[in-house]
Structure 1
């Protein structure tokens, strides 16, 4: 019964990881698309305006996508092996991502001038992205909620899997295989 439950939780954790991985892959592909468009714009305009610095927004999008994919790889490995150390590291990483996401979302909702705190984006891609989010706010909210739920369930499944694994280890530690040696007749 425990093996079936463990297998089901491992599969569920892998499913939640797959949802997070899809977001990471989409973010990487979108940032690569933005890099391509930025390079085309840089070739067609003045050298000083576009080539002075690489836009921070593209860096941020690419970095977040890579970190999501890396955490997903760790999550798949942790789910496969059910190792307590890897599960703990995975839970810590996903919890840290949740805290960062919560801080960013709360800053956007509380601070009406949140975009003034960010550096200028010479490529204009951040403004395009902001306009896209404003025009498709319903879809973006549902995608954001899906990601938050997937991360929350990932933490929950990793915690349950870690608990099951620790229970299996402690139940196997105290097997009475050596007790007959203690009662050896003289």
Structure 2
């Protein structure tokens, strides 16, 4: 019963963790599109360092990579049910939730929250704000889905950490494997003894 519950929790954690991975891949694809638009504006690579892509593109790309790394850590932790992997995974997701909560609180409580961010010369940051405001209801449900997936992944990881790895099945399989080898050893010892006696008898007859 315990192994069945553990396998179900592992499957659910992988499914919930895939939501974080999809978010990370979407952010990486959007940042790649912004990179393409930026370099297309300069007809290739910019000639000066001041014309390098702004902070918003790099931040979006870094967040996407961080989400994908968290997803990989979650898949490894869910597959191995290792206590240390689960602890690291929960810490990463908890830090992610804290950072998201801090940004959300700053946006809702601070009226001049746009001044906290550097200026974006590409205008992509303004485009993202306009898209969120025009699709506020949809973005709200997507944000709630992401936060719910992150919170549920922490809860599932905590439950798996309490259950621990499935040691009983490995112990039973080792017990079943050792006795299976003992009859073979006994048969070899029994067959070896008659062969020795036959050789001794034939040697005595020749003498």
Report TM bin, short chain: 0.7 to 0.9
Matched, 1:72 2:74: no
Cross-structure match for 2:24: 24
Separation in structure 2 between the aligned mates of residue 85 and residue 76 of structure 1, nearest angstrom: 14
Structure 1, 94-103 or 157-166: larger mean CA deviation: 157-166
Cross-structure match for 1:164: 163
User: What are the within-5 Å matches in structure 2 for residues 74-93 of structure 1?
Assistant: 74-93=73-92
Cross-structure match for 1:144: 143
- Greater Rg over alpha carbons, structure: 2
1:132 CA displacement: 0.7
* Cα offsets for 1:69-109 (capped at 9, x unmatched): 00100000000000000000000000000000000000000
1:51 CA displacement: 4.8
Separation in structure 1 between the aligned mates of residue 34 and residue 86 of structure 2, nearest angstrom: 34
1:42 CA displacement: 2.4
Q: Is the 8 A contact 1:42 1:51 kept in 2?
A: no
Separation in structure 2 between the aligned mates of residue 40 and residue 169 of structure 1, nearest angstrom: 57
Separation in structure 1 between the aligned mates of residue 32 and residue 100 of structure 2, nearest angstrom: 22
1:53 CA displacement: 3.4
Separation in structure 1 between the aligned mates of residue 43 and residue 111 of structure 2, nearest angstrom: 36
TM-score (norm 1): 0.85
1:156 CA displacement: 0.3
Separation in structure 2 between the aligned mates of residue 122 and residue 113 of structure 1, nearest angstrom: 19
Separation in structure 1 between the aligned mates of residue 82 and residue 131 of structure 2, nearest angstrom: 42
Separation in structure 1 between the aligned mates of residue 161 and residue 142 of structure 2, nearest angstrom: 28
User: What are the within-5 Å matches in structure 2 for residues 1-186 of structure 1?
Assistant: 1-43=1-43, 51-165=50-164
Separation in structure 1 between the aligned mates of residue 128 and residue 148 of structure 2, nearest angstrom: 23
Q: Which runs of 5+ in 2 are unaligned?
A: 172-207
Separation in structure 1 between the aligned mates of residue 110 and residue 146 of structure 2, nearest angstrom: 23
Query: For 1:43, what is the secondary structure of its paired residue?
Result: coil
Separation in structure 1 between the aligned mates of residue 127 and residue 40 of structure 2, nearest angstrom: 16
Q: Which runs of 5+ in 1 are unaligned?
A: 174-186
1:47 CA displacement: 6.1
RMSD across aligned positions (CA): 2.3
Separation in structure 1 between the aligned mates of residue 111 and residue 40 of structure 2, nearest angstrom: 33
